[in-house]
């Protein structure tokens, strides 16, 4: 009979441990998803920087080209600059999942030679 009571207390203990671990599992999932979001922002800013540099190389507007390549959720924090001739730097704010979390910006700099014809 002592074994039956022991089995019941063990099953209750497992449930308590599961409930205690759920917040940790949820936090790990949020951190993992935030890493995915940050990685996607870094990828997208590189794509936008390449498009902006191509636009600048042919004499077009690099800011409009970068904005056109970005998903809408990244457009609001877009910054485009030309730090030196032939180079374009693009940066966006990394979207955050938690309102109190600040992750900074993703940056990419790309340079192409100018393709304008000499007149």
pLDDT at res. 69: 93
Where the chain has pLDDT below 50, the residues are 119
Asked whether residue 117 is assigned to any structural domain, the reply reads: no
pLDDT at res. 97: 87
Q: Report DSSP letters for 35-60, one per residue.
A: HHHHHHHHHHHHHHHHHHHHHHHTTS
Domain interval for residue 63: 2-111
Distance CA 9, CA 59 (A): 75
The residues, ordered by sequence, that sit 6+ positions from 113 with a Cβ below 8 Å of its Cβ are 57, 86
pLDDT at res. 71: 92
The residues, ordered by sequence, that sit 6+ positions from 27 with a Cβ below 8 Å of its Cβ are none
Asked whether residue 119 is assigned to any structural domain, the reply reads: no
Asked whether residue 118 is assigned to any structural domain, the reply reads: no
Asked whether residue 116 is assigned to any structural domain, the reply reads: no
pLDDT at res. 117: 56
Q: How many domains does the chain have?
A: 1
pLDDT at res. 79: 94
């Amino acid at each position: 009979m002592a074994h039956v009571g022991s089995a019941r207390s063990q099953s209750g203990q497992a449930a308590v441990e599961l409930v205690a671990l759920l917040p940790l599992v949820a936090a790990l999932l949020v951190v993992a998803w935030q890493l995915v979001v940050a990685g996607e922002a870094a990828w997208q800013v590189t794509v936008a920087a390449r498009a902006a540099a191509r636009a600048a190389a042919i004499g077009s507007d690099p800011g409009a080209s970068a904005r056109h390549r970005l998903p809408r959720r990244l457009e609001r924090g877009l910054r485009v600059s030309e730090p030196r001739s032939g180079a374009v730097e693009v940066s966006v704010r990394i979207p955050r999942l938690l309102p109190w979390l600040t992750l900074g910006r993703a940056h990419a700099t790309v340079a192409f030679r100018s393709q304008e014809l000499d007149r």
